[in-house]
């Protein structure tokens, strides 16, 4: 199975892809937050002149490993973000989906209303399947409104009469929710509880918008089969690729951020020989 990672403008590459060639698309585009997103990775080492204390009063020094940044600002939310940026990419996404394929569009509260209208126009209102609410425990702590603790995932079918959906796989996925400090299995629905990637997780890449592999696993198990081809053209840290590798699917990942390339190169070093890297501008 040969995967692909493309570090280039996603629209240019999408336009070269053949019609009806992709089984499932998941994308997590910029949320148009109006600011640059960044995350700084740190580690602590023992030091006599350290700035923090730990076990048995040992002192530790904090060392910055680096900061990863990407821009998430558009001057005009309607013309720039929706019409000029998202619309042509979503038109291509629909074209390259197979007739039984589906699109999972990951967004947050800022733009979900506008994006749903746009997706209705491109796919058709009758092709809307679900709005999944992913709730998590970390995030904002606003004092003057309810803190935002969820994302929205809009699900559209290329053809709702033919859409591929593995009901059995969906029912076998372990959905969990917090319950008085414990986690209990719940029946699968369009409301998902899943923690964000913990800071001490071995999967943590430091990429600002990294999504948990557990969320991708649910999507890929339910809406694709073994050896299907999955596309993510806002690949970021590569979580879609890791999920595909674990579940026996072929992945195509596209991103134009050089830092995404650095993260994915490190993340996929153990399967680098299985990946075709297309990096024309680096």
Cα–Cα distance measured from residue 238 to residue 260, given in angstroms and rounded to the nearest whole number: 8
Nearest by Cα to 127 from 89, 166, 100: 100
Residues of the chain with CATH 3.40.50.150: 3-34+73-278
Which of 7, 16, 2 minimizes the C-alpha distance to 279? 7
> What residues of the chain score a pLDDT lower than 70?
1, 31-78, 139-140, 175-185, 198-204, 206, 282
The CATH T-level fold of domain 3-34+73-278 is Rossmann fold (3.40.50)
> What pLDDT sits at residue 66?
46
| C-alpha–C-alpha distance, residues 68 and 269, integer Å | 19
Q: Which residues pair with 185 in a beta bridge?
A: 176
pLDDT 10s digits, 86-121: 999 999 999 999 999 999 999 998 889 999 999 999
| Contact between 254 and 6 (Cβ < 8 Å) | yes
Whole-prediction pTM = 0.82
Return d(Cα 137, Cα 195) in angstroms, integer.
6
The whole-angstrom separation of Cα 57 and Cα 21 is: 59
Q: What is the largest CA-CA distance in the chain?
A: 67
CA atoms within 13 A on the CB side of 234: 20
The tens digit of pLDDT for each residue in 247-272 reads: 999 999 999 999 999 999 999 999 99
């Amino acid at each position: 199975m040969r995967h692909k990672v493309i570090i280039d403008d996603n629209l240019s590459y999408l336009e070269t892809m053949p019609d009806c060639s992709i089984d499932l698309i998941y994308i997590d585009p910029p949320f148009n937050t109006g600011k640059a997103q960044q995350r700084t990775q740190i580690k602590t080492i023992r030091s006599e002149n350290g700035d923090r204390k730990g076990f048995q009063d040992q002192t530790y020094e904090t060392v910055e490993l680096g900061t990863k940044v990407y821009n998430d600002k558009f001057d005009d939310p309607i013309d720039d973000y929706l019409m000029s940026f998202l619309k042509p990419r979503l038109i291509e996404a629909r074209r390259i989906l197979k007739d039984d394929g589906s699109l999972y569009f990951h967004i947050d509260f800022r733009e979900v209303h506008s994006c749903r209208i746009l997706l209705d126009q491109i796919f058709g209102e009758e092709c809307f399947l679900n709005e999944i609410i992913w709730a998590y425990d970390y995030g904002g702590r606003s004092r003057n409104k309810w803190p935002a603790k969820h994302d929205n995932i809009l699900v559209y079918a290329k053809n709702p009469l033919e859409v591929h959906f593995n009901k059995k796989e969906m029912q076998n996925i372990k959905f969990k929710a917090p319950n008085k400090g414990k986690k209990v299995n719940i029946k699968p629905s369009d409301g998902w509880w899943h923690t964000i990637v913990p800071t001490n997780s071995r999967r943590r890449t430091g990429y600002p918008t990294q999504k948990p592999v557990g969320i991708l696993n649910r999507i890929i198990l339910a809406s694709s089969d073994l050896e299907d081809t999955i596309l993510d053209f806002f690949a970021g840290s590569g979580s879609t690729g890791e999920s595909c590798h674990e579940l026996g699917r072929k992945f195509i990942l596209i991103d134009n951020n050089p830092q995404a390339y650095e993260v994915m190169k490190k993340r996929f070093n153990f399967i680098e020989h299985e990946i075709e890297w297309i990096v024309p501008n680096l």
